[in-house]
Amino acid sequence: MAVKSIGKYEAKMMDAVENFHGNQLVYIGWDKHRLINSAMAFPLPPQMPFGALLSDVMPMCYKDHPDFEQVVWDDSIIWNLNGELFVPDVEKSLQDNGIDHKSILRFETPNLTGLNGVGM
Note the residues at the interface with other proteins (CB under 8 A).
Answer: 1-6, 9-16, 19-21, 23, 25, 27, 29, 31-32, 34-43, 60-61, 64, 66, 82-83, 100-104, 106, 114-116, 118-120
Decide: helix, strand or coil at residue 62: helix
Non-local (6+) Cβ contacts of 84 within 8 A are none
Evaluate whether 66 touches 57 at the Cβ level (below 8 Å).
no
Nearest distance from C-beta of residue 41 to other proteins, angstroms: 5
* Closer by beta carbon to other proteins, 95 or else 102: 102
* Closer by beta carbon to other proteins, 3 or else 75: 3
* Closer by beta carbon to other proteins, 50 or else 67: 67
* Closer by beta carbon to other proteins, 85 or else 118: 118
What is the residue type of 65? Answer: H
Evaluate whether 81 touches 29 at the Cβ level (below 8 Å).
no
Instruction: Please give the full DSSP string across 34-46, using - where no structure is assigned.
Output: TTS-S-EEEEE-T
Nearest distance from C-beta of residue 28 to other proteins, angstroms: 9
Nearest distance from C-beta of residue 118 to other proteins, angstroms: 6
Pairing relationship of beta strands 103-108 and 24-30 according to DSSP bridges: parallel
Nearest distance from C-beta of residue 63 to other proteins, angstroms: 10
